[in-house]
Amino acid sequence: MVDWSKKKVIILDRDGVINHDSDDYIKSPDEWVPIAGSLPAVAQLNKRFKVAIATNQSGIGRDYYDQDVLAQMHQKMTLLLEEHNGQIDHIEFCPHHPDDGCDCRKPKPLMLQRIAQEFDATPEQVVFVGDSKSDFECAQNFGCDFVLVLTGKGLKTLDKLAGKDITIEKSLAKLVEEIH
């Protein structure tokens, strides 16, 4: 169980946690559609925590879209969050193809390390919220708490992580209800 009183940074995976995911990748601002309740949930988290995103964006490495389009997707997210008085305090992304052998692609912990450094936080002060096995492994590799949400790939991931001691929530919105 997560001790929320000791946390100062909540790191969110993007696709499947904040917005709907697609096996065909989210390739444009039009395809970036928030999951019901996720944006107000981020705004609630902003009241107690720094909120960051750590997201693998291999669609860039696969030439499905470029970093300008990713920036447009994040601009759309920012504008929609502002309607709820919410914000993302920092974004880290890995643009590489899985075969590139980079140091930043989850499950490697570099993105989480960079975010923690940005907010002068230790792993014990961080929670990573994700929907995939690589998110879970990333949190394990960094040494922070992990919450699995059942949106996105979460239900499939639940089977893959059977027997692991993890906190599970139906969605980001439900998680926020539990901690507020």
Query: What positions carry a catalytic annotation?
Result: 13, 15
Query: Is 170 strand, coil or helix?
Result: coil
Question: Is the CB of residue 100 less than 8 Å from the CB of residue 61?
Answer: yes
Question: Is the CB of residue 72 less than 8 Å from the CB of residue 26?
Answer: no
Question: Hey, how many other C-beta atoms are within 10 angstroms of the C-beta on 18?
Answer: 28
Question: Hey, how many other C-beta atoms are within 10 angstroms of the C-beta on 141?
Answer: 17
Give DSSP secondary structure letters for 53-122: EEEE-HHHHTTSS-HHHHHHHHHHHHHHHHTTT---SEEEEE-S-GGG--SSSTTSSHHHHHHHHHTT--
The span from the first CA to the last CA of the chain, in angstroms, equals 15
Which amino acid is present at 33? Answer: V
